Amino acid sequence: MIGFDIGEIASDTYYDDEQEGLEEQIIIRFSHVTAENTPKGRTASKFAELLEDKTNGKVKVHIFPNAILYNDTNEWEAVQNGSVEMIAPATAKISRHYPIWQILDLPFAFPNYQAVEEAYEGKIGETLLDRLEHTNVKGLDLWYNGFKQITTQESAIRTADDFSRLHFRTMPGPVIQEQFNQLNASTSTLSFNKTYHNLEVNFVDGQENTLSNINTKKFYEHQQYLTISNHGYLGYGVLMNRDFWNGLPSKIQESIHEAIHEATEWGRRHAIEINDQHAREIRLNQSLEIYTLSAEERAQWRQALRPVYIKAEEAVGSDLMQEIKTIRENYAY
């Protein structure tokens, strides 16, 4: 017989830890837009686990993935007004509000993962997080995802000229718009969780994203070509409602800082491997024709996108631009 044992339900309820000491528990609602099995989803779970451990269960983090609570067009307002306590938007989405953040989305800013880490964990990361000081969000850290690739439906993208007259779904952010402008492509800024539908109905020809996002959101079902271009890096600002933060006992604030930094470190070590796993699934699935840019093609894309830097420098400032140049020069890039 299939059914419930009423005694079992009653005792489960009795021992549910959320029923005990409820008034003493601190709940952090953490809303984000990606699937759970992505660098952001997994790093958020790691953070929740670490924080609950460090506070002996006093703080609980309730994670709402896949935009089930808020999507990328309203999560910023939600964290500002305290409808949720935490979000972790892509850096490009923060650059909509704080243009200095666009530095991290510059095309070909980073030759490799090590260079991304140097920017995230060095002066650039610190400056960007500090810039949020006078707002109702507190910048806690930067989290990793991976390099972006391009998918399209009708024709493969190899040279910078192949973008011409195509229509792309993009994240918001001035640098992203300028990148596609320079490639003579048109864009629609659409929320992440509306992308699949807009690919399905051919409203857009293509999009750019990490392999974990492409795979978990099944973009391959309506895209035929994948170009491995590694032309930009997608990472996140981890943000908390500042009033909520200010109201926390200092011991809890300390635990949050520790848990965030340990989770960041975990994400840094695992993001590449998580994206690699999704790359393997994409290859096995075989529904996408995959092309990897040659060094010459990369150099040609880079050249075509140089003007993006000139516009960005006005918003970012020469000091931070110099920082990124120095990081690149260390890799002779």
The contact set with ligand SIN (CB under 6 A) reads 33-34, 40, 72, 90, 145, 171, 192, 209, 213, 234
Q: Cβ neighbours of residue 315 under 8 Å, at least 6 residues apart? A: 99, 100, 102, 174
Nearer to ligand SIN by C-beta: 151 or 255?
Answer: 151
Q: Which residue of this chain has its Cβ atom nearest to ligand SIN in the complex?
A: 192
The CA-atom distances, in angstroms, between 264 and each of 49, 94, 126 are: 13, 18, 14
Q: What's the min distance (Å) between Cβ of 34 and ligand SIN?
A: 5
Cβ 215 vs Cβ 282: under 8 Å: yes
Stated as kind and residue range, the H or E segment containing 237 is strand 233-241
Nearer to ligand SIN by C-beta: 59 or 109?
Answer: 109
Nearer to ligand SIN by C-beta: 171 or 185?
Answer: 171
Q: What's the min distance (Å) between Cβ of 193 and ligand SIN?
A: 8
- Give the full edge-to-edge strand order of the sheet including 233-241: 59-64, 26-31, 86-87, 233-241, 137-147
208 by DSSP, 3-state: which?
Answer: strand
Q: What's the min distance (Å) between Cβ of 218 and ligand SIN?
A: 14
Q: What's the min distance (Å) between Cβ of 61 and ligand SIN?
A: 18
Nearer to ligand SIN by C-beta: 59 or 94?
Answer: 94
Q: What's the min distance (Å) between Cβ of 191 and ligand SIN?
A: 7
Alpha helices in the chain (DSSP H): 6-15, 39-54, 75-80, 91-95, 113-121, 123-130, 174-182, 195-200, 211-216, 242-246, 250-285, 295-304, 307-316, 318-330
Nearer to ligand SIN by C-beta: 96 or 242?
Answer: 96
